[in-house]
Amino acid sequence: MSKLFTPIHIGPYALTHRVVLAPLTRMRAEEGAVPGKLMATYYAQRATEGGLLIGEATSAAANGNGYLGAPGLFDDRQIAGWKNVTEAVHAKGGRIFLQLYHAGRQSHVDVQPDGAQPVGPSAVLHGGVAYTHTGWVPNTPNRALEVSEIEALVESFRGAAVRGVAAGFDGVEIHAANGYLFDQFLQDNSNRRTDAYGGSFANRSRFLLDVTRALIGVWGSDRVAVRIGPSGTWGDMGDSDPEGLFTYVAQQLDALSLAYIHLIEPRVLGNVDDETKDQRPVAAQWIRRHYQGRIIAAGGFKGDSAEAVLQAGDADLVAFGRDFIANPDLPARLQRNLPLNAYDRPSFFGGTEVGYTDYPTHDAAAALAA
């Protein structure tokens, strides 16, 4: 693990290792989409001196959620809950970026304000699901956004970024992958618009780049990041020319001098390995040819494969999801070549401390066994 545990800078921050907590939707927020004490404990458990955590997908607009129990930062009343999280991480010497998202068509009337219809770039039927008080249910068919609504959403993200500063985050990441709203604008199987937000690569990227620039205006470019999923199909996504599209997106983001871009490998579908995909990390290798800044790779990595992608120069850091859920001390376990706890998939989404904050560290488990 020689390179995984070498220091690196992300924007203005000096990190001591390159093991990153991936942004993971856990749906443990309290009423009003407010983070509670349980969430602060969860993030603090996974914080390390000089380590980077990326907070879970957080709705930047009142109509942006697709999952009951997911947090938000579209209301000033949510700031205090997030401040408890950031203070707990900083007390451990860690850094934490906030991931902002909008679910777009990946939603349901039951999680929308006043039961409103979900929105997207175009009204295109798809097979996605949302999480409501009755559990996982098919998404409600969405309507197409008006241009004025798109412009208003840019301001919603700007407002959420301002609240992120007040909440004590170290930076902000835009979630433009996994079939959510930015991804829906980017890929042409979900974007059928014929106006300034549809058609060409430039038009389909407009919303993402407008929001990125708005957040740079709040944070500065070296504390803003973007997550993309080249060739990602989660959420019934697809594009007629994915290589051309995501090459264009990478080149446009490269010009903005961001803190990093965060790439999801297509070998992972949602939170499950996609056995139909090549198991080698291909997205990072491809995007590296077009993006010169920091790259975080995510998607099914283990210690050896993470080290390999760093040694190849295709990525600079690696984000871990499922193994970090089950191993709050994952960096230490990887560095010391210790066995990992198995994760419990049924407790990933929603619930209590079970499957959330009750996974033992290696040293704690060893002490109990002694």
Whole-number pLDDT of residue 192: 98
Could you say which DSSP state residue 60 is in? S
Contacts of 68 (CB under 8 A, 6+ apart): 27, 110, 111, 131, 132, 133, 350
Q: Is the pLDDT of residue 276 over 60?
A: no
Average of per-residue pLDDT values in the chain: 94
Is the model's pLDDT at 271 over the cut of 60?
no
Residue that wins the pLDDT comparison between 343 and 368: 343
Q: At 77, give phi and psi (nearest 5°).
A: -70, -10
Q: State in Å, rounded, how far the first CA of the chain is from the last one.
A: 28
Class of domain 8-369: alpha beta
pLDDT digit string, tens, across residues 114-148: 999 999 999 998 888 999 999 999 999 999 999 99
User: Considering 43, 67, 101, 180, which one is annotated as catalytic?
Assistant: 180
Q: Alpha-carbon distance 355 to 298, whole Å?
A: 22
pLDDT of residue 285: 86
User: DSSP E strands: which ranges in the chain?
Assistant: 8-10, 13-15, 19-21, 52-54, 58-59, 95-101, 119-120, 129-132, 135-138, 143-144, 171-176, 224-228, 260-264, 268-269, 272-273, 295-298, 317-320
pLDDT band at 265 (very low <50, low <70, confident <90, very high): confident
Strands 260-264 and 224-228: parallel
Q: Which residues contact 18 (CB under 8 A, 6 or more apart)?
A: 3, 4, 5, 6, 8, 310, 316, 317, 318
Residue with token string 């407002």:
159
Which helix (H) or strand (E) is 306 found in, with range? helix 303-311
Single pTM value for the model:
0.95
Assign 350 to helix, strand or coil.
Answer: coil
Q: Where does the pLDDT of residue 154 fall: very low under 50, low under 70, confident under 90, or very high at 90 and above?
A: very high
Helix 147-166 vs helix 79-91: angle between axes, to the nearest 10 degrees?
50
SS3 category, 143: strand
Residue carrying structure tokens 């999280």: 85
Contact 213, 219 (CB under 8 A): no
- Pick the range with the lowest mean pLDDT from 157-166, 272-281, 287-296: 272-281
> Is residue 328 classed as helix, strand or coil in its secondary structure?
coil
In the chain, where are the structural domains located? Answer: 8-369
180 is catalytic: yes
Q: pLDDT, tens digit, for every residue of 282-305?
A: 778 889 999 999 999 998 899 999
pLDDT at 4: 97
3-state DSSP: the chain helix, strand, coil percent, rounded to 5? 35, 20, 45
User: Could you write out the DSSP letters of every residue in 228-296?
Assistant: E-TT--TTT---S-HHHHHHHHHHHHHTTT-SEEEEE-TTEETTEE-TTS-SS--HHHHHHTT--S-EE
